[in-house]
């Protein structure tokens, strides 16, 4: 076996750690996909949480008991293992964003420490020694864990962030040049072993007319108390059969489909795997609500929300007042005892307006960007301009004319001081696809963005063409990891969608513009959980936990150092695997 660094720990040094390891004969699952010939996982199991071996980033104890997993792997031939990733999931193997542990920065999360049990045979005796395979993160994602062969025994250690528990499910991902193999989920005392039939529970079919969202949007628990809410529309009471209206943070939320159809809308549900949208259309009016987003669109115009649309107990819940008032109705709210009455009508009814009636706040309308200077196409010439979102023309931008006939054949041009480029094309019977790269220096780092032309159509060489570029996107995303410092049964279960992040810009953003304070709820992002669509810049970050029925709870926050009430946030290069976005990472301490 070859590797770039290793540490030998003799068996006697960790005998207390490995003592008490339990062998299990039962099985919960097998591979989630076909395993190539010569590769076999004989066992993957969670053994115990009895010892503190690793920390968040290296083999340094940090005071928390680690999750101790066992992996028995058989490789018939020498095989390179590029990375190993452990994920917490639900019982069906869907990521629940509670924890990720890995060997290198191929993804995000805490260190997954790997110790190999090696048999040493000498003429006098046979002994065992334990070898630490990865003392710390392999920051180069291209550096493999190592090359292995034969029957292998590994102990895996995952620093306990508060989610290592008997009721939690886990999957293991092993990346090799032959592909990435993902196990089915296991639990404590429910390992997987080879040669058995999976026994994965089958989820019950859903009867809701809207597709049940995938766990990419973590479901929010329904509140356990609150007034009985009666909703009347034009003198008739609405009956909510599947889910009842609730009041959350002073806003009434009702089931999406029932409200929209009662108001005469046609409804649609859009899910691209990352974001889920509830959309209603009627008579030239379109209302679009994105789950866990603090803004909605009315006929394409962004309008701020006091509370986002969200999924609660697998039901899509939307703010009643926002939808009704933007549909042209008046809304009144009255409360007596434990009953609240909401009336939607053409004129205001009498009653105390206990529910706030905030006027919709439209997002600032950007100044009109002037048109590009006029250019005329010429044979065998590709030309145009490159500008930013403010309309300023950009010099020194690299522009590519890529020959669509010949692979990896392109011609490069650079914009002049007026943001103009012109590329002379060879007289070939082919077409050309245009693209550009922009590199910006910010706080001592270079950030590179790939641009597509405003008209994404290849141009014909014999006719030439004008292709302009507008730099519109320099957003990044922030992964957020919850750290559970205690086990307080009086508090509700943490849900990432109840986490409110506030980002206050420090100085100008990457493009030189003045940033604005961003307030966003956590949720699914590409490759994990956190917040996305954050313009690259430098920010001060704070966090609040806002579980239903509790006052907002400020949370200590860390960017890799000590916890504090606030930390500074900057962005780094993307992983190149899970996301092409520039990234940052934060950890919040949950009480």
Residue 481: which CATH number? 2.60.40
Residue 189, phi-psi category: left (phi > 0), alpha (psi -120 to 50), beta (remainder): left
**Both 526 and 563 in a single domain?**
yes
**Both 499 and 572 in a single domain?**
yes
Domain end call among 187, 218, 243: 187
**Both 395 and 517 in a single domain?**
no
**Both 517 and 561 in a single domain?**
yes
- Residue 208 to residues 97, 98, 131, 212, 565: CA-CA distances in angstroms? 25, 27, 53, 7, 42
Structure tokens at 291: 């789950």
**Both 238 and 329 in a single domain?**
yes
**Both 179 and 93 in a single domain?**
yes
Q: How far is residue 579's CA from residue 585's CA, in Å, rounded to a whole number?
A: 13
Q: How far is residue 25's CA from residue 191's CA, in Å, rounded to a whole number?
A: 8
**Both 307 and 274 in a single domain?**
yes
- Answer whether residue 210 is part of any domain: no
- Answer whether residue 351 is part of any domain: no
**Both 494 and 575 in a single domain?**
yes
Specify the DSSP element, H or E, that contains 357: none
Q: Do residues 446 and 440 touch, judged by C-beta distance below 8 A?
A: yes
Domain end call among 289, 317, 345: 345
User: Diameter of the chain by CA atoms?
Assistant: 96
Q: How far is residue 124's CA from residue 295's CA, in Å, rounded to a whole number?
A: 73
pLDDT in tens, the chain (591 residues): 333 333 333 333 333 333 333 232 222 233 333 445 677 888 999 988 878 888 877 888 877 788 899 999 888 889 998 889 898 887 777 777 677 888 876 556 788 899 998 877 777 777 778 889 988 877 677 788 999 999 999 999 988 766 777 778 899 988 888 777 888 888 888 888 775 433 333 343 333 334 434 444 445 555 545 678 889 988 888 888 778 898 887 788 999 888 998 898 888 888 777 788 899 988 888 999 999 888 899 988 888 888 889 988 778 899 999 998 888 888 888 877 778 888 888 744 444 444 444 445 454 555 567 888 899 999 999 999 999 888 889 999 999 999 988 877 889 999 999 999 999 999 988 999 999 999 888 988 888 888 999 888 899 999 999 999 999 888 889 999 998 877 667 778 888 888 999 999 999 999 888 888 999 999 888 778 899 889 999 999 999 988 877 778 899 999 988 999 999 999 988 755 444 578 889 999 988
**Both 174 and 232 in a single domain?**
no
Q: How far is residue 402's CA from residue 241's CA, in Å, rounded to a whole number?
A: 57
Q: Do residues 468 and 500 touch, judged by C-beta distance below 8 A?
A: no
With H, G, I as helix, E, B as strand and everything else as coil, classify residue 320: helix
**Both 551 and 521 in a single domain?**
yes
Where are any strands of DSSP class E within 192-227? 192-193
- Answer whether residue 15 is part of any domain: no
Residue 480: which domain range?
475-589
Q: How far is residue 563's CA from residue 461's CA, in Å, rounded to a whole number?
A: 59
**Both 45 and 180 in a single domain?**
yes
Q: Do residues 151 and 140 touch, judged by C-beta distance below 8 A?
A: no
Burial class (CB in 10 A: 0-12, 13-18, 19+), 45: buried
Neighbouring residues of 122: CB distance < 8 A, sequence distance ≥ 6: none
With H, G, I as helix, E, B as strand and everything else as coil, classify residue 199: coil
Q: Between the CA atoms of 523, 580, 31 and 70, what dihedral angle is there, to the nearest 10 degrees?
A: -80
Predicted TM-score (pTM) of the model is 0.43
For the chain, what is the domain count?
A: 4
**Both 480 and 412 in a single domain?**
no
DSSP 564: B
């Amino acid at each position: 076996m070859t590797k770039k660094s290793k540490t030998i720990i003799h068996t006697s040094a960790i005998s207390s750690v490995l003592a008490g390891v339990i062998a299990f004969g039962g099985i919960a699952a097998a591979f989630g996909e076909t395993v190539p010939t010569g590769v076999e996982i004989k066992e993957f199991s969670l053994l115990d949480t009895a010892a503190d071996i690793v920390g968040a980033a290296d083999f340094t104890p940090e005071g928390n008991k680690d999750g101790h997993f066992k992996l028995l792997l058989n490789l018939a031939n020498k095989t390179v293992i590029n990375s190993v990733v452990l994920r917490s999931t639900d019982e069906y193997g869907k990521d629940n964003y509670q924890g990720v542990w890995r060997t290198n920065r191929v993804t995000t999360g805490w260190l997954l420490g790997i110790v190999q049990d090696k048999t040493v045979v000498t003429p006098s005796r046979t002994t065992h020694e334990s070898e630490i395979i990865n003392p710390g993160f392999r920051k180069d994602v291209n550096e493999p864990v190592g090359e292995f062969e034969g029957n292998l025994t590994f102990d895996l250690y995952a620093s306990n962030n508060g989610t290592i528990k008997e009721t939690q499910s886990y999957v293991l991902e092993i990346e090799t040049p032959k592909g990435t193999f993902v196990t089915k989920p296991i639990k404590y005392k429910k390992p997987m072993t080879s040669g058995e039939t999976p026994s994965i529970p089958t989820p019950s079919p859903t009867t809701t007319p809207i597709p049940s969202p995938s766990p990419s949007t973590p479901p929010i628990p329904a509140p356990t108390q609150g007034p009985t809410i009666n909703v009347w529309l034009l003198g008739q009471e609405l009956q909510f059969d599947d889910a009842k209206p609730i009041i959350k943070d002073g806003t009434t939320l009702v089931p999406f489909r029932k409200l929209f159809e009662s108001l005469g809308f046609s409804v649609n549900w859009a899910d691209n795997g990352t974001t889920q949208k509830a959309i209603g259309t009627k008579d030239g009016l379109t209302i679009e609500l994105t789950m866990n987003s603090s803004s909605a669109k009315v006929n394409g115009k962004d309008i701020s929300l006091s509370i986002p649309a969200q999924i609660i107990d697998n039901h899509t819940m939307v703010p009643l007042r926002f939808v009704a008032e933007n549909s042209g109705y008046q809304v009144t709210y009255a409360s007596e005892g434990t009953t609240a009455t909401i009336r939607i009508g053409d004129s205001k009814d009498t009653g105390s307006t206990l529910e706030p009636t905030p006027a919709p706040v439209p997002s600032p309308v950007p100044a009109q960007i002037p048109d590009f200077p006029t250019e005329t196409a010429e044979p065998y010439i590709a030309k145009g301009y490159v500008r930013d979102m403010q309309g300023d023309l950009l010099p020194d931008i690299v522009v590519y004319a890529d020959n669509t006939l010949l692979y990896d054949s392109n011609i490069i041009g650079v914009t002049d001081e007026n943001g103009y480029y012109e590329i002379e094309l060879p007289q070939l019977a082919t077409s050309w696809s245009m693209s550009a790269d922009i590199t910006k220096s910010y706080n001592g780092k270079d950030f590179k963005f790939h641009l597509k032309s405003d008209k994404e159509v290849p141009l014909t060489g014999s006719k030439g063409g004008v292709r302009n570029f507008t730099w519109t996107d320099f957003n990044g995303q922030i992964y957020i990891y919850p750290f559970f410092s205690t086990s307080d049964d009086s508090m509700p279960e943490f849900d990432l969608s109840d986490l409110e992040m506030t980002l206050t810009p420090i100085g100008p953003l990457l493009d030189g513009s003045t940033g604005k304070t961003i307030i966003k709820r956590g949720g699914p992002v590409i490759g994990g959980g956190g917040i996305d669509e954050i313009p690259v810049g430098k920010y001060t970050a704070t966090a609040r936990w806002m579980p239903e029925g509790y006052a907002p709870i400020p949370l200590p926050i860390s960017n890799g150092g000590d916890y504090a009430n606030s930390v500074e946030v900057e962005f780094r290069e993307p992983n190149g695997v899970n996301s092409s976005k520039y990234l940052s990472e934060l950890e919040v301490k949950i009480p």
